[in-house]
A and B are shown apart, each in its own frame.
Chain A
Amino acid sequence: MKFAVIVFPGSNCDDDMFYAVKEGLNVEVEKVWYSEESVADFDAILLPGGFSYGDYLRTGAIARFAPVMASVMEEAKKGKPVLGVCNGFQILLEAGLLPGAMQRNKNLKFICRPAELIVENNETGFTDKYEKGECISVPIAHGEGSYFCDEKTLSQLQANNQIVFTYRDNVNGSVADIAGITNKEGNVLGMMPHPERAAADVLGSADGLKLFQSILNHWRESNVLTS
């Protein structure tokens, strides 16, 4: 299995993401520069955190039109796993791969600390190594992480089990405590907390590692079935 970590001008969690996969899973992983035309050769695509294009205009608004994104969107539509963390989540929202939008934190502060998350849905290709209802510790680091969507979208998210992670203590004002959601098909996950910063005990928590293991596991299972 081969992972891609997309690097935009201003990404700053690309190394963390790279090493979470390389050291945590021991599989192939490559960084892909934003000006590349294709990510078709990869089996999973990771959009890391950071401040792509300096967060100008809106978070993720300009990165969403970076050359590589057309191919990311195409592969997402084919069903490949796409994970966006923090700024990566914001880019997925701007790209329309996930519903809703991101706003400034309710308290207008940049919040950087460990957060307790509840695994609301463990029947996705990103979370099947977790227990349903499990409480995990994963760091957050964002100024614009208050998830917003209208009531109609929220009821669709709930009806389709698209809410994957919620905050135990809603620190940023997100609608329905939302920390992470998938698309309807379940192959695109966006989350504000950083699982790649919680991928080994030495980092203070290894709770994020199971997310990457779930992606790998899911890929292995579906490739055994098809070959």
Chain B
Amino acid sequence: MVKVQVYVTLKEGVLDPQGSAVKNALHTMDYHEVKSVQTGKFIELEMEQTDNLDARIKEMCEKLLSNPVIEDYTYTIGEVVSK
């Protein structure tokens, strides 16, 4: 088994009203060193290890987990540590 961590963020140039609202809030809290905030999604999958793992993950990201019109994705693959 592997643990796949997918990060979905808005593409550059796409307005992020949630990010702007969070940035404004941080500024009103006196964290003026914050220059930009981008919000996004974090999705974690536990999957069976397969030969075409990368291709399958990319397919899932492009078909469902992200919307390629406005979003980019990155992912990391790690081992599942048994408890």
Contact = CB atoms under 8 A, between A and B. Distances in A.
Contacts of B18: 104, 108
Contacts, number: 36
B14 interface: yes
A104 B17 CA distance: 7
Contacts of B15: 103, 106, 148, 173
Interface range for B:
10 to 19
A149 B67 contact: no
Interface string A135-176: 000000000000011100000000000000000000001000
Main secondary structure of the interface of B (DSSP, over half): mixed
B70 interface: yes
B21 A148 contact: no
A207 to B, nearest CB: 30
Interface string A80-113: 0000000000000110000111011111100000
Interface of B: 14-15, 17-18, 21, 41, 64-65, 67, 69-70
Interface of A: 57-58, 61-62, 65, 93-94, 99-101, 103-108, 148-150, 173
